[in-house]
Amino acid sequence: MTEALLAQRPIVMGILNVTVDSFSDGGAFLEFSAALAHAREMVASGADIIDVGGESTRPGAERVPVEVEQQRVLPIIRELAAEGVALSIDTLNASTAAEAVRAGARFINDVSGALADADMARVAAESGATYIAGHWRGTSATMNEFANYDSVVVDVRNELRLRVDALHAAGVPRERIVLDPGLGFAKNAEHNWELLAQLSTLVGDGFPILIGASRKRFIGALLPTEANMVERDVPSAVVAALAVNAGAWGVRVHDVRMTKLALAAQQKWENAR
C-alpha cells in the first residue's frame, strides 16, 4: 500500500499533534480518545495518511524526553494501524521512528532530514519505511538565526540533494525518499513564498515533494491580526491546491475536509483544460 501512496497524487496528510505546545492546536488532542476521534474524523474526510507527532517543532519549542514522546504516539499508532490507517511518525528521534514503524507506521517524517539524530539514516534504511526528509538548518531554538540564503530556492535544493546523498549512502533507496522544503524552518515569509512560487524547480529533481504550509505564520500574515488559527485554513487550502498544481506529491494539513474541496476544484479545472 505504501508504494501505491507514493505513486498516487495528490496525497493529503492529516496532522495529528499529540502535544501540549504545538503552535496551532497544542493540547487539543493530547488525550488518547480525543486523538483517535480526530484521526478518524480526518480519515473520514479523505486523509490518505495521518501524521502523528508527539513533540512540537515550532520556533522556540523545548525538546521533549524521548520516553514521553513515545508514550504519546505509540498507543495511537498501534490503534490506528490496527484499523488499517496509513500512518506517518513525525519525529526527530531515531528510536521513536523505529518503534513507530514496529507499531505500524509506514512513513517517517523527519523535519531535520536525519541531521538531528545521527542514527536516523540507519533506522530509515533498516525500517523499510518511506522517509520524508525536511530541509533543516537548526533546532527550534536556533533555526531563525540561519534564515540567510544567497538564493533560497537554489540553496534549499542543493542542501536537500546533500541529504539525499547521505540517506542513499546509508542504505535508504531513492524510491523511498520524499523531500520537504521545510517552510518556516530557518525561513522567513519571503523565503516561504519564493519556494512555493518556484516549486517546479524542486519537483524537477524527480523526488516526491511534500508541502507543509498549513496554518503557518506566513499564512496567518494574510489575515487580520486578531484572526484565530482556524481562519488560516482557507488560505492554507488555497496554497495546498496551488502547490499540487505546481507538481507537489502531497500536502500536510490541519483541515482535511477544506483541503479536499480545494483540491477537487483544482482537479476540475485541470480536467476542463
pLDDT band at 24 (very low <50, low <70, confident <90, very high): low
pLDDT band at 229 (very low <50, low <70, confident <90, very high): very high
Q: Which residue has the higher pLDDT, 115 or 57?
A: 115
Catalytic hit among 163, 176, 252, 260: 252
In angstroms, rounded to a whole number, what is the distance separating the alpha carbons of residues 179 and 202?
9
pLDDT band at 20 (very low <50, low <70, confident <90, very high): confident
C-alpha cell at 190: 519571503
In angstroms, rounded to a whole number, what is the distance separating the alpha carbons of residues 22 and 37?
18
Among this protein's residues, is 187 annotated catalytic? no
Determine if residue 138 is left, alpha or beta; phi over 0 gives left, psi from -120 to 50 gives alpha, anything else beta. Answer: left
The domain that contains 28 carries what CATH number?
Answer: 3.20.20.20
pLDDT per residue over 44-54, tens digit each? 999 999 999 99
Among this protein's residues, is 163 annotated catalytic? no
Q: Residue 108 belongs to what domain range?
A: 2-272
Task: Name the nearest CA neighbour of 19 among 56, 46, 49, 45.
Answer: 56
Catalytic hit among 216, 232, 257, 260: 216
At 134, the amino acid letter reads: G
> Does pLDDT of 33 surpass 60?
yes
Per-residue pLDDT, averaged over 103-129, amounts to 97
How many domains are there within the chain?
A: 1
pLDDT per residue over 139-179, tens digit each? 877 888 889 999 999 999 999 999 999 999 999 999 999 99
Tell me the whole-structure pTM to 2 decimals: 0.94
Q: Which residue has the higher pLDDT, 2 or 170?
A: 170
